[in-house]
Amino acid sequence: MNGRIGSTRYSACEEIVNGVTHAIGVVLAIGGLCLLVSVSICSDRILDTVSCVIFGVSLIFLYSSSTLYHSINQPRIKAIFRTFDHVGILLLIAGTYTPFTLITLRGVWGWWLFGVVWSLAAAGVVVELSHLRHKRMMSISLYVLMGWAMIVATKPLFAALPDGGLLLLFLGGLAYTGGIGFYLWRSLPYHHAIWHLFVLSGSVLHFCCVVFYVVPVSLAV
C-alpha cells in the first residue's frame, strides 16, 4: 500500500489537508452570502441583490463540492464530486463576474460580458461532462481565458470602480492564476492544498472588492 486513497493521486494526509482548506472556504462562503445579501438589499435595484446571491451561491457550491470530493473515499462517489468540483470552478468564475458586470459595468458592456462569460462557463461544463482527451488542460485554459476576459472592458471598468476596488480585483485574479502553477506541480507534496489556499485568497479578495466597492458604489449612484 502507498497510502493513497482509492484512485486519487493524493496521500491520506494530503487529502485531509485538501479537504480542510476548502471546508474553511465553505464556512466563509456561507457567512459571506449572508453579508452580501444584507449589504445589497439596501439597494433600490433588485439586480444588485440577485447578482450578489449568484456570487455567494457559486462560492458555496465550489467549496462544498471540493470539500466533499477530498473527504470521500468511495471511488465512484468521489469521481462524481470531482466533476462537481471542476464544474464549480467554472460557475465560480462566472458567478464572480456577475456583480462586476451587472452592478459595476451595467449597460451594453456589462450585459455583453455577462453573456460571454456565462456562455464560456456553459461550454466548460459540457467539456467537463464529456470524455474528451486532455479535457483537464482544456478546462484550465478556459479558466484562465474566462478569468482575464475582464481586460476587454478595462476602460469602462476603470471609470466605474474606485482604485481600491481595482487593486482587489487585480490581486484576486493574480491569486487565482498564480495558484495554477502549484496545481500543475504534482511532484510537490501538498501542492493541491497550496493551490486551494491561492483559490481561497482569490475568493476573499474578490469578495472584499464586491462588499467594500462594487455594492457601495451602486448605492451611491
pLDDT in tens, 167-188: 999 999 999 999 989 988 989 9
Residue 4 inside a domain? The answer is: no
Residue 3 inside a domain? The answer is: no
| The predicted structure's pLDDT at residue 6 | 42
Residue 2 inside a domain? The answer is: no
Q: pLDDT tens, 37-71?
A: 999 998 888 999 999 999 999 999 999 999 999 99
Q: Which three cell numbers stand for residue 109?
A: 458592456
Residue 33 inside a domain? The answer is: yes
CB contact burial 78-109 (16+ within 10 A = b; e otherwise):
beebbebbbbbbbbbbbbbbbbbbbbbbbeeb
Residue 37 inside a domain? The answer is: yes
CATH number of the domain residue 44 falls in: 1.20.1070
pTM of the model: 0.91
When divided into structural domains, the chain yields a total of: 1
Residue 91 inside a domain? The answer is: yes
Q: In terms of residue numbers, what domain contains 149? A: 12-220
